[in-house]
Amino acid sequence: MLKSKLIILAWLLLLVPTLLLGVGALRLLESEEARLLDSRRTSAADRVTAIAGNIDLAIAEVQDGLQDILRQLPQQQLADQLHRWKQENPLVRNVFIWQQGRGLLLPDPQHPASDEEAAFVRRFQPLFADQSSWQPPQTDRQVTTTPASSILAERRELRLLAQRAPEPAPQEQQADSAVSSSESARKTAPSPVSGSSHWRSWYADDQLHLLGWFVPDGNSQRYGIEVEMMALLSRLLGNLPLQIDGEESFALLDGKEQIFHQVGNFEILPDRQPLARVALQNLPHWQVAAYADPATAGAASGIMLFGSLLIGTFIIAILLGGSLLLWQAWRNQRDASQKTSFVSNVSHELKTPLTTIRMYAELLGEGRINDQQKQQRYLQTIIKESQRLTRLVNNVLDFNRLEQGRRRYQQDRLELKQLLTELLESQQPRLREAEIELELDLPPESCPLQSDRDALEQIILNLLDNGIKYAAAGKKLQLQLRCGQAQLRLRLRDWGPGIPNAHKQRVFEKFHRVDNSLTTRQQGSGLGLSIARQLAEGLGGQLDYCPIEGNGCCFELLLPLGGEK
Ligand code: ADP
């Protein structure tokens, strides 16, 4: 009991750390995967931020350019100038002039020149009717603190700095000689009107529109343009990387998060989630996003799967190996204790008949027993006990030979009916003494076979021995022989207390003895049935427990008539 508890404890000591190790390794694998994904996201976010910065800068440049032109438009014939500009510049979709108090002056809201103009007036109606503030709502102008916006601000500042021309010195202004070509160009260009420039993004018909206008100082007029978005967007696409070496694709997403344009080595499917995305400052609700290649994402989960399988295999291998070692240790320890009890059992079994033989031999030797009948009885006892010794020694010798695989089988020509009759005849005194009646059930025909006589006798004697030792209470033994064409069947049945179900197969294991009072009362080494079965198998047959109705137990020996295999 204590030993089995120790085994369970040892197994738990093996199981718990192994499982902890496995769980730890899996956690490590998971965190490593999350870390990889994180660093991938960060680097994708960096790339997307740079692209978004480029696009924002490009839009800012377009906006600044358009505002420059607006600023420089001569105030006389403003409507004509705007019209011409619209016809010449693909970026200009519509132009307008609006005046505080009078509303829209151009295009004429009552008589628009085209459908496009009518749609334009309708689109910006709230603005032109002064129902909506010209100042963009705070959120529109709000600069979020994304990296893209800071890059944008820095680059814009740098560009303005680079474009800043030197202020002409007062004396230079007076001098009309030595005029550089750029200055002459500046002189020929209309002088810019001072005022303020504005941009406003506008959502209508589910689309983004950009409206830019200029308000000259001290003037109630404001005039400006609506940007042709398609012309602007198609020119922005060049800011997306052309050549992509990595495992990512990039996309420009519109206000409805639909892919407007994509670049990369694989196609982005509409339902894919991006690795990183950054909003464009100058195109509200539009974003740039980076997507991971589904093939490499599969590879990452493949690595996770492979890692988990590897860890699982390690755990199973450790547990199996450990369990095997523990099982082996448990078996060795059981064998050792069985061998110890075997040695003490055998010594005891040897000692009892030897003591009896010596005692009766001494009595006879002293010549003090004159009674003839007594002398006969003593001699019978000496013969019986020496036979018991022989059986025991034979068993031990057989066990040794069988264990070492040294048991050789003879091919004797036997007549089984005759062999049984002779053998049982020699056992009659024992049966009589145990008050057991032996019922012999032999077939009428003879039963010849080729087999090893000693092995066969040993099997039958071991079975008979057990019948006498453990089933004497049943008062009856039955030996039944049936000879078929190819094999014979020998059954020995008793009406004793029988063998508990849990032990019916285990009694054939070496050293196994049923742990009950019946067994402890009798001497034995736990070898008889194990040897009998091994011998039966050595003869090419088999020995088994056969099910019966009622009390007792029954053993069945099946043997081929031809002899050894
Ligand atoms: P041994 O008789 O030396 O103990 P065996 O291998 O012959 O060893 O038998 C193993 C065990 O099987 C016995 O210890 C006994 O408990 C049980 N056994 C064998 N034959 C019988 C039987 N006929 N009736 C009841 N128990 C039996």
pLDDT for 362-391, tens place per residue?
Answer: 989 998 888 899 899 899 889 988 988 888
How many angstroms is it from 419 CA to the middle of ligand 1? Answer: 24
Strands 437-441 and 476-483: parallel
Ligand 1 pocket test: pick from 396, 461, 468, 470 the residue with the most ligand atoms within 8 Å of its Cβ.
Answer: 470
Predicted confidence at residue 475, as pLDDT, reads: 93
353 within ligand 1 shell (Cβ under 6 A): no
End-to-end, the C-alpha distance of the chain in Å comes to 42
Ligand 1 pocket test: pick from 346, 392, 513 the residue with the most ligand atoms within 8 Å of its Cβ.
Answer: 513
Nearest ligand 1 atom to the CA of 496 is 24
524 within ligand 1 shell (Cβ under 6 A): yes
How much of the chain, in percent, has pLDDT values that exceed 70? 87
Predicted confidence at residue 452, as pLDDT, reads: 92
How many angstroms is it from 414 CA to the middle of ligand 1? Answer: 28
How many angstroms is it from 518 CA to the middle of ligand 1? Answer: 9
Q: Whose CA is nearest to atom 2 of ligand 1?
A: 524
How many angstroms is it from 547 CA to the middle of ligand 1? Answer: 16
| CA distances to 247, 493, 500, 532 from 547, in Å | 72, 10, 12, 18
Task: Answer yes or no: is pLDDT of 150 > 70.
Answer: no
Q: Whose CA is nearest to atom 12 of ligand 1?
A: 507
- The C-alpha atoms of residue 140 and residue 279 are separated, in whole angstroms, by 12
530 within ligand 1 shell (Cβ under 6 A): yes
Task: Answer yes or no: is pLDDT of 163 > 50.
Answer: yes
How many angstroms is it from 412 CA to the middle of ligand 1? Answer: 29
Listed range (31-45, 128-142, 525-539) with the worst mean pLDDT: 128-142
Residues 197-213, mean pLDDT to the nearest whole number: 90
528 within ligand 1 shell (Cβ under 6 A): yes
Strand (E) or helix (H) holding 13 = helix 2-72
Strands 207-216 and 195-204: antiparallel
- The C-alpha atoms of residue 348 and residue 548 are separated, in whole angstroms, by 34
Ligand 1 pocket test: pick from 391, 461, 466, 513 the residue with the most ligand atoms within 8 Å of its Cβ.
Answer: 466
Residues 6+ apart with CB under 8 A from 263: 240, 241, 242, 244, 249, 250, 251
Q: Whose CA is nearest to atom 8 of ligand 1?
A: 526
- The C-alpha atoms of residue 538 and residue 246 are separated, in whole angstroms, by 72
395 within ligand 1 shell (Cβ under 6 A): no
How many angstroms is it from 463 CA to the middle of ligand 1? Answer: 9
470 within ligand 1 shell (Cβ under 6 A): yes
Residues 18-29, mean pLDDT to the nearest whole number: 89
Describe the chain by its helix, strand, coil percentages, rounded to 5: 55, 20, 30
538 vs 269, higher pLDDT: 538
Instruction: State the pLDDT confidence band at 436, using cuts at 50, 70 and 90.
Output: very high
- The C-alpha atoms of residue 143 and residue 150 are separated, in whole angstroms, by 9
Q: Whose CA is nearest to atom 21 of ligand 1?
A: 466
Residues 165-194, mean pLDDT to the nearest whole number: 50
249 within ligand 1 shell (Cβ under 6 A): no
Ligand 1 pocket test: pick from 529, 545, 553, 555 the residue with the most ligand atoms within 8 Å of its Cβ.
Answer: 529
529 within ligand 1 shell (Cβ under 6 A): yes
How many angstroms is it from 526 CA to the middle of ligand 1? Answer: 7
How many angstroms is it from 410 CA to the middle of ligand 1? Answer: 28
Predicted confidence at residue 1, as pLDDT, reads: 55
Q: Whose CA is nearest to atom 23 of ligand 1?
A: 467
Residues 536-551, mean pLDDT to the nearest whole number: 93
453 vs 151, higher pLDDT: 453
519 within ligand 1 shell (Cβ under 6 A): yes
Nearest ligand 1 atom to the CA of 525 is 3
Predicted confidence at residue 526, as pLDDT, reads: 85
How many angstroms is it from 462 CA to the middle of ligand 1? Answer: 9
- The C-alpha atoms of residue 180 and residue 166 are separated, in whole angstroms, by 13
Q: Which residue has the tokens 């080494």?
A: 525
Predicted confidence at residue 554, as pLDDT, reads: 96
467 within ligand 1 shell (Cβ under 6 A): yes
Contact 320, 11 (CB under 8 A): no
Residue 431 class from Cβ within 10 Å (0-12 exposed, 13-18 middle, 19+ buried)?
middle
Instruction: State the pLDDT confidence band at 162, using cuts at 50, 70 and 90.
Output: low
Q: Whose CA is nearest to atom 14 of ligand 1?
A: 513
526 within ligand 1 shell (Cβ under 6 A): yes
Q: At what angle do helices 147-163 and 2-72 cross, to 10 degrees?
A: 30
- The C-alpha atoms of residue 317 and residue 27 are separated, in whole angstroms, by 20
Instruction: State the pLDDT confidence band at 492, using cuts at 50, 70 and 90.
Output: very high
How many angstroms is it from 52 CA to the middle of ligand 1? Answer: 90
Task: Answer yes or no: is pLDDT of 164 > 60.
Answer: no
Nearest ligand 1 atom to the CA of 527 is 6
Q: Whose CA is nearest to atom 7 of ligand 1?
A: 528
Q: Whose CA is nearest to atom 26 of ligand 1?
A: 499
For the CA atoms of 318, 323, 324, 325, what is the dihedral angle to 10 degrees? 90
Listed range (103-117, 339-353, 428-442) with the worst mean pLDDT: 339-353
Task: Answer yes or no: is pLDDT of 331 > 50.
Answer: yes
Task: Answer yes or no: is pLDDT of 342 > 60.
Answer: yes
471 within ligand 1 shell (Cβ under 6 A): yes
Task: Answer yes or no: is pLDDT of 157 > 70.
Answer: no
126 vs 265, higher pLDDT: 126
- The C-alpha atoms of residue 506 and residue 188 are separated, in whole angstroms, by 117
Per residue in 470-491, pLDDT (tens digit) is 999 999 999 999 999 889 999 9
- The C-alpha atoms of residue 429 and residue 435 are separated, in whole angstroms, by 10
What is the DSSP-derived secondary structure letter of residue 274?
A: P
Residues 6+ apart with CB under 8 A from 191: 72
0.75 surpassed by pTM? no
Predicted confidence at residue 42, as pLDDT, reads: 92
How many angstroms is it from 564 CA to the middle of ligand 1? Answer: 26
